[in-house]
């Protein structure tokens, strides 16, 4: 019996360390680990000991005998990886990183702004050093964990279990929350710099990217950042106007623009029967609205081809395995003939028989099309769509180029899922082109740092923030060793009296 990884990973690699025969790859330090969509078990050398199952915090690994039909494609996906990357060295990995000791004894205090995965992994990295005795995490909301709480889809229960990892960090001695306090509004950077030896911004990338087309601001055109917050009960998004009923969405169709993982999340939540969402973390008010939804079809519009789609293979397998939604693929057949896992899956979906009278909702993945305009007067009634052709540039990049072939899709709801964008942070420099804070390996200047999406831009998985935090903290520790401008003893106490709550 071999074990199989069955979903995107948190990338903490606990499984790799636990495995006695080093058959889970790519491992930390190996090429591809930092950007891996998931890790893979080599069925040829797995001895079936189950140690990785206990180690994995999100339940991603199962024995091959327990794979559900929907998980079955992961069997070949795990095995195929080793055809391409054999990783012949199977000496067990002993990931015991050398513990750095600061030259100066401290005690040092650090403020982290933002309690998402990047902020908490930063606190974790810092508190491994006894010289850092206090990390205060400031969070503008009353509840922590950023997009791990308010972004990850409610029907992704296993991924949402990553909150357990974050809660373990909260229990570390020296960790403290200051919840319900927005830095830049309730407290200012200068005040933090007076009180702490270093300040790390982990504020994410909270804005949406626009499409820049006519009609984008009509009622019924919604940013995925808002819709995701709405179904995840984000306090800023509870009253969102989402036209789902037959009166405001007579066509019964929604269009999701973009072909990333967020687009798939949104399309899934809009199409799945509400029975399958009962008992999940979905906001009760959103569930009630979805229960009465008149939407029968969701069209996901990818501007380039299937091979260039931004969604990941594990997410596509999850979608293809849904029994309560009819998933349909529309793309030129010649774009679906690749022999990579994504093309094979998509071409399987394109050839799948779908019975028109099934009563299930349809989720259409349409590639090679862009929206040209949203139509309607006071609210969205449809989308003018143009067909694109794919052009390969000399550097190998594949671009979408609009053709004259146009069509129209009636729709009462258009969700713009074309990525996030970071906003300027008061007191910090800002790169308008990338929506990030300019930095060198996380250092903005000595004493001031960035981590996570505000540092790298809005890409990557929850686990990507762990390596990102390690890099930022390494520079921060170098600066503490180099010596602060003010000695800790002469600083005011770290706590800002009367601010926020400290609970979780």
Ligand X SMILES: Cc1cc2nc3c(=O)[nH]c(=O)nc-3n(C[C@H](O)[C@H](O)[C@H](O)COP(=O)(O)OP(=O)(O)OC[C@H]3O[C@@H](n4cnc5c(N)ncnc54)[C@H](O)[C@@H]3O)c2cc1C
Give the strand pairing for 198-201 and 207-208.
unpaired
Residues 316, 327: contact at Cβ < 8 Å? no
Q: In what order do the strands lie in the sheet with 448-450?
A: 175-179, 132-139, 108-113, 198-201, 448-450, 443-445
Number of residues that bind ligand SF4 (CB under 6 A): 28
Using CA atoms in the order 155, 161, 162, 165, what is the torsion angle rounded to 10 degrees? 170
Q: What is the spatial distance between Cα 373 and Cα 436, in angstroms, rounded to a whole number?
A: 29
Residue 452 contacts which entry, ligand NAP, ligand SF4, ligand X, none (Cβ below 5-8 A, type-dependent): ligand X
Residue 13 contacts which entry, ligand X, ligand NAP, ligand SF4, none (Cβ below 5-8 A, type-dependent): ligand SF4
If binding is defined by CB under 6 A, does position 422 make contact with ligand X? no
Q: What is the spatial distance between Cα 150 and Cα 334, in angstroms, rounded to a whole number?
A: 39
Q: Which is nearer to ligand NAP, 176 or 402 (CB)?
A: 402
Q: What is the spatial distance between Cα 242 and Cα 244, in angstroms, rounded to a whole number?
A: 6
If binding is defined by CB under 6 A, does position 118 make contact with ligand X? yes
Q: Mark residues 11-50: x for contact with ligand SF4 by CB under 6 A, - for none.
A: xxxxx--xx-x-xx--------------x-x----xxxxx
- Show contacts with ligand NAP in window 165-224 (CB under 6 A): 211
Q: What is the spatial distance between Cα 414 and Cα 373, in angstroms, rounded to a whole number?
A: 11
Residue 418 contacts which entry, ligand X, ligand NAP, ligand SF4, none (Cβ below 5-8 A, type-dependent): ligand NAP
Q: Which is nearer to ligand SF4, 28 or 106 (CB)?
A: 28
User: Which range touches ligand SF4 (CB under 6 A), out of 57-65, 128-136, 230-238, 452-460?
Assistant: 57-65
Q: Is 278 exposed, middle or buried (0-12, 13-18, 19+ CB in 10 A)?
A: exposed
Residues 6 or more apart in contact with residue 376 via CB below 8 angstroms:
215, 218, 220, 382
- Show contacts with ligand X in window 432-471 (CB under 6 A): 452-453, 460-462, 464-465
Closest CA to 421 of 462, 460, 457: 457
Q: What is the spatial distance between Cα 322 and Cα 469, in angstroms, rounded to a whole number?
A: 35
If binding is defined by CB under 6 A, does position 475 make contact with ligand NAP? no
User: Other C-beta atoms within 10 Å of 439: how many?
Assistant: 22
Strand partners, 414: 221, 255
Residue 3 contacts which entry, ligand SF4, ligand NAP, ligand X, none (Cβ below 5-8 A, type-dependent): ligand SF4
Q: Which is nearer to ligand X, 82 or 311 (CB)?
A: 311
Q: Which is nearer to ligand NAP, 108 or 461 (CB)?
A: 461
Residue 221 contacts which entry, ligand NAP, ligand X, ligand SF4, none (Cβ below 5-8 A, type-dependent): none
* Residue among 138, 175, 177, 449 that touches ligand X (CB under 6 A): 138
If binding is defined by CB under 6 A, does position 259 make contact with ligand NAP? yes
If binding is defined by CB under 6 A, does position 337 make contact with ligand SF4? no
Q: What is the spatial distance between Cα 89 and Cα 83, in angstroms, rounded to a whole number?
A: 15
Length of the chain: 504
Q: Which is nearer to ligand NAP, 22 or 225 (CB)?
A: 225
* Residue among 27, 40, 56, 313 that touches ligand SF4 (CB under 6 A): 56
Using CA atoms in the order 183, 188, 189, 192, what is the torsion angle rounded to 10 degrees? -90
- Show contacts with ligand SF4 in window 294-313 (CB under 6 A): none
Q: What is the spatial distance between Cα 409 and Cα 424, in angstroms, rounded to a whole number?
A: 36
Q: Which residues are at the interface with ligand SF4 (CB under 6 A)? A: 3, 5, 9-15, 18-19, 21, 23-24, 39, 41, 46-52, 55-56, 58, 60-61
Q: Which residues are at the interface with ligand NAP (CB under 6 A)? A: 8, 211, 257-263, 265, 302-304, 308, 310, 312, 315, 370, 417-420, 458-461
């Amino acid at each position: 019996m071999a074990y199989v990884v069955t979903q995107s990973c948190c990338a903490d690699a606990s499984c790799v360390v636990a495995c006695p025969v080093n058959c889970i790859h790519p491992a930390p330090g190996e090429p591809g680990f930092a950007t891996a969509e998931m890790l893979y078990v080599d069925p040829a050398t797995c001895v079936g000991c189950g140690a990785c199952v206990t180690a994995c915090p999100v339940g991603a690994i199962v024995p091959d005998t327990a794979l559900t039909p929907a998980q079955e494609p992961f069997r070949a996906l795990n095995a195929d990886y080793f055809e391409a990357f054999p990783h012949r060295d199977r000496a067990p990995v002993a990931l015991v990183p050398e513990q750095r000791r600061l030259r100066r004894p401290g005690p040092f205090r650090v403020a982290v702004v933002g309690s998402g995965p990047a902020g908490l992994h930063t606190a974790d990295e810092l508190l491994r050093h006894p010289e850092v005795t206090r990390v205060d995490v400031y969070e503008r909301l009353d509840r922590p964990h950023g997009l791990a709480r308010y972004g990850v889809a409610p029907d992704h229960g296993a991924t949402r279990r990553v909150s357990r990892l974050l809660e373990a960090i909260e229990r570390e001695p020296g960790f403290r929350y200051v919840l319900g306090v927005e830095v830049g509004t309730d407290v200012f950077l200068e005040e933090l710099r007076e009180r702490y030896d270093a300040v790390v911004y982990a504020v994410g990338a909270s804005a949406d990217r626009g499409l820049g087309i006519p009609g984008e601001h009509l009622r019924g055109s919604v940013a995925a950042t808002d819709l995701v917050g709405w179904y995840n009960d984000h306090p800023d998004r509870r009253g969102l106007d989402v036209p789902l009923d037959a009166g405001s969405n007579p066509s019964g169709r929604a269009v999701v623009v973009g072909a990333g993982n967020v687009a798939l999340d949104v399309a899934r939540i809009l199409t799945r029967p509400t029975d399958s969402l009962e008992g999940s973390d979905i906001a009760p008010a959103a569930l009630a609205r979805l229960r009465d939804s008149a939407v029968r079809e969701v069209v996901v519009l990818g501007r380039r081809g299937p091979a260039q789609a931004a969604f990941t293979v594990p997410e596509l397998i999850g979608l293809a395995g849904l029994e309560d939604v009819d998933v349909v693929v529309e793309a030129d057949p010649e774009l679906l003939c690749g022999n990579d896992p994504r093309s094979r899956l998509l071409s399987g979906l394109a050839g799948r028989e779908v019975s028109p009278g099934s009563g299930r909702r349809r989720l259409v993945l349409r590639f090679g099309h862009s929206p040209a305009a949203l139509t309607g007067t006071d609210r969205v009634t449809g989308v003018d769509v143009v067909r694109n052709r794919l052009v390969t540039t000399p550097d190998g990049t594949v671009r979408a180029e609009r053709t004259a072939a146009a069509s129209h899709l009636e729709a009462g709801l258009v969700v713009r899922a074309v990525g996030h964008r970071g906003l300027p942070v008061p007191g910090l420099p800002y790169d308008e082109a990338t929506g990030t804070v300019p930095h060198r390996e996380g250092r903005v200047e000595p004493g001031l740092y960035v981590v996570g999406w505000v540092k790298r831009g809005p890409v990557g998985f929850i686990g990507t923030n762990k390596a990102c935090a390690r890099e930022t903290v390494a520079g921060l520790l170098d600066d503490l060793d180099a010596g602060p401008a003010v000695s800790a003893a002469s600083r005011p106490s770290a706590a800002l009296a009367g601010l926020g709550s400290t609970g979780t």
